[in-house]
């Protein structure tokens, strides 16, 4: 069971289809691995639809959302529905990927820093306002210190890494926003592959990192 989850607000925006499609895809990956967030989203979709149907958006009481969330926390949850994968997706070097990526296409691995490669992920219909990459980093590799314009969602697909706020493994989704500068470091026992979805470009602190960003477009 994952230990790190998207914020409630991000899950609500996903449920109401108001999240950029790149971020929504990262959330979908997390939902595949996390029954807790999956149930939350299912209940929000059902209750959000019912509220809009019954009251109309304009006349919705301000406390309605709090009541929905209270209901979600206390009510028994229905079993999630699964859809079988059409074809099983794989990364550019054949690593099996989660089912939620089955309609995406992937670019080749490109060098981005020593021991790190990225592959651009093309979602069906594009990434909306965001960008989407797979990042593969070797053991003990460190991503340059960076911040964000808007939200960054990192879903761990294999391996483990940490930053100054925690330690993360497969299934975890790490949400960071403009207030946080961080420098993720891969664990010493093996490489780590993550899907990273951002609303806007990352904001690197050092000149070399910004130079690499200018050339690669990450
Ligand atoms: Zn979760």
CB-based contacts of 36, cutoff 8 Å, min separation 6:
1, 5
102-106, 138-142, 198-202: range with highest mean pLDDT: 138-142
The residue assigned the tokens 């996903």 is 14
pLDDT tier at 81 (50, 70, 90 boundaries)? very low
C-alpha 26 to ligand 1 mean position (Å): 11
Tokens representing 159? Answer: 């391996």
Q: Is residue 181 predicted with pLDDT exceeding 90? A: no
C-alpha 153 to ligand 1 mean position (Å): 12
C-alpha 35 to ligand 1 mean position (Å): 7
Tokens representing 137? Answer: 């980093």
Q: Is residue 85 predicted with pLDDT exceeding 60? A: no
C-alpha 155 to ligand 1 mean position (Å): 11
C-alpha 60 to ligand 1 mean position (Å): 28
C-alpha 84 to ligand 1 mean position (Å): 21
Sign of CA dihedral 19, 24, 26, 30: positive
Distance CA 60, CA 15 (A): 18
**Which of these ranges, 56-65, 103-112, 137-146, 159-168, has the smallest mean pLDDT?**
56-65
Mean pLDDT along residues 104-133: 82
> Which pLDDT score is estimated for 84?
43
C-alpha 211 to ligand 1 mean position (Å): 35
C-alpha 37 to ligand 1 mean position (Å): 4
Q: Is residue 8 predicted with pLDDT exceeding 50? A: yes
C-alpha 52 to ligand 1 mean position (Å): 26
pLDDT tier at 37 (50, 70, 90 boundaries)? very high
> Which pLDDT score is estimated for 27?
94
C-alpha 213 to ligand 1 mean position (Å): 30
C-alpha 10 to ligand 1 mean position (Å): 11
Asked if 108 contacts 92 with a C-beta cutoff of 8 angstroms, the reply is yes
pTM score, two decimals? 0.74
pLDDT tier at 97 (50, 70, 90 boundaries)? confident
Q: In 3D, which of 122, 172, 182, 195 has the Cα closest to residue 1?
A: 172
């Amino acid at each position: 069971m994952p230990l790190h989850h998207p914020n409630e607000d991000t899950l609500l925006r996903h449920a109401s289809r108001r999240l950029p499609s790149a971020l929504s895809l990262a959330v979908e990956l997390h939902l595949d691995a996390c029954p807790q967030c999956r149930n939350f989203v299912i209940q929000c979709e059902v209750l959000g639809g019912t509220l809009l149907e019954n009251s109309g958006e304009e006349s919705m009481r301000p406390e309605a959302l709090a009541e929905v969330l209270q209901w979600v926390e206390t009510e028994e949850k229905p079993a999630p529905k699964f859809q079988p994968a059409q074809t099983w997706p794989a990364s550019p070097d054949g690593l099996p990927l989660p089912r939620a990526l089955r309609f995406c296409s992937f670019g080749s691995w490109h060098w981005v820093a020593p021991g790190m490669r990225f592959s651009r992920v093309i979602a069906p219909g594009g990434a909306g306002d965001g960008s989407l990459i797979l990042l593969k980093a070797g053991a003990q590799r460190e991503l340059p210190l960076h911040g964000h314009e808007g939200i960054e969602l990192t879903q761990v697909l294999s391996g483990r890494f940490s930053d100054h706020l925690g330690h993360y493994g497969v299934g975890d989704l790490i949400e960071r926003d403009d207030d946080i500068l961080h420098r993720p470091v891969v664990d010493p026992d093996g490489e780590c592959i993550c899907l990273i979805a951002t609303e806007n470009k990352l904001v690197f602190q050092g000149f070399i990192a910004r130079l690499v960003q200018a050339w690669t477009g990450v």
